[in-house]
């Protein structure tokens, strides 16, 4: 049991680290904690739930989500795989105000 908890703890730490790395390119527009309206147009992402963030990112990636920022955001998430989308969404959601 202790081994399982240790493995889960290490996995959580690595996931948080990867989330922080993935979020770096987001921070320039959305702010260090996701507290800004990117380019005065977006929602404040740290107020969104993890599920809402995943839906938005997947939608930006496939072109089915977003208004005027759709093309810009599609380029930002184009290389994210499913796991990376979930990881960065969890990282952002953990920063809720």
- What is the domain-level CATH number for residue 21? 1.10.760.10
Predicted local confidence at residue 67, as pLDDT: 85
- Report the number of distinct structural domains present in the chain: 1
How many CA atoms does the CB half-sphere of 40 hold within 13 Å?
A: 0
Count of beta carbons in the 10 Å neighbourhood of residue 46: 18
pLDDT bin (cut points 50, 70, 90) of residue 97 is low
Helix axes 82-93, 50-62, angle to 10 degrees: 140
Predicted local confidence at residue 59, as pLDDT: 96
Range of 67's domain? Answer: 2-93
Q: What is the pLDDT of residues 35-83, one digit of tens each?
A: 999 999 899 999 999 999 999 999 999 999 988 889 999 999 999 999 9
């Amino acid at each position: 049991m202790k081994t399982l908890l240790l493995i889960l703890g290490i996995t959580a730490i690595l996931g948080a680290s990867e989330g922080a790395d993935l979020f770096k390119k987001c921070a320039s527009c959305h702010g260090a904690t996701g507290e800004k309206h990117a380019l005065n147009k977006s929602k404040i992402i740290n107020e969104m739930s993890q599920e809402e963030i995943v839906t938005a990112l997947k939608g930006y990636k496939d072109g089915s989500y977003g208004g005027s920022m759709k093309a810009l955001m599609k380029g930002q998430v184009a290389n994210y795989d499913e796991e990376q989308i979930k990881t960065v969404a969890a990282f952002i959601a953990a920063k809720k105000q």
